[in-house]
Amino acid sequence: MRLRNIPGSRDVIAENEYVVHEEKTVKGKWNIVFGNDNPIRIEIGMGKGRFICEIAMCNPGINYVGIEKYSSVLLRAIQKQEELKLPNLKFIRMDAEEIAEVFGKDEVDRIYLNFSDPWPKDRHAKRRLPSRQFLKRYDSFLKKDGIIEFKTDNRDLFDYAVIEANEAGWNIDSITYDLHNDPVMNEGNIMTEYEERFSSKGNPIFKYIISR
């Protein structure tokens, strides 16, 4: 997702209290950023932030960090948070390729990947957020018993992600090829913007939960 460039969005982000700047300097110190030792969960490629705002609102005892590459998109999440003012929600504008430089060992207990960009060309496979290259990065900061939750309506991307998880030695704890009709996995499901859009067209939603 890349919205039209919004003039001034970089300035708004630079001054916003909910955006963590110089994020590499807080590696291993996220408890200081939040002012508590609550668990930390992150969404990578959060888009306009519907999912992370709602999950943070429902779980005040957990800290959330939403990561998004584009300023114009992040701005929409900031606008939501400006109204909600949730103390347990922060954002970073960055390319997740550098994520291992932002969180320290065991600092995160859950990673959400929601409707990640598919990067359909083979030569771009390593840019896919559930690729083995990204799993290796996640491995460096996810707690030992931490999990990754991934959902998408893109069957090719999902099949690829399942293969990558297996190849990288992760365990598939749960899997569904029709989330909204799976009473167990759908319990407490929070819809993302893309999920709403694609499921309303009749697309089934695929989801896995993996651990090592």
Q: State the Cα–Cα distance between residues 88 and 62, nearest whole angstrom.
A: 7
For residue 115, state whether it binds ligand SAM (rule: CB under 6 A): yes
**Residue 16, CB-side half-sphere exposure with 13 Å CA sphere:** 25
Nearer Cβ to ligand SAM (36/136): 136
Q: Are strands 40-44 and 108-114 parallel, antiparallel or unpaired?
A: parallel
For residue 111, state whether it binds ligand SAM (rule: CB under 6 A): no
Candidates 6, 16, 70, 209: give the one binding ligand SAM (CB under 6 A). 70
Residue 36 contacts by C-beta under 8 Å, 6 or more apart in sequence?
63
Nearer Cβ to ligand SAM (107/153): 153
Residues that contact ligand SAM, how many (by CB under 6 A): 20
For residue 98, state whether it binds ligand SAM (rule: CB under 6 A): no
For residue 193, state whether it binds ligand SAM (rule: CB under 6 A): yes
Catalytic residue among 11, 95, 106, 117: 117
Q: Which of residues 6-35 bind ligand SAM (CB under 6 A)?
A: none
* Residue 115 CB, nearest approach to ligand SAM (Å): 3
Token pair of 21 as six digits: 């700047």
Return the ∠ at Cα 84 (arms to 82 and 107), rounded to 5°: 90
37 labelled catalytic: no
Is 103 within 8 Å of 44 (Cβ atoms)? no
Catalytic residue list: 117
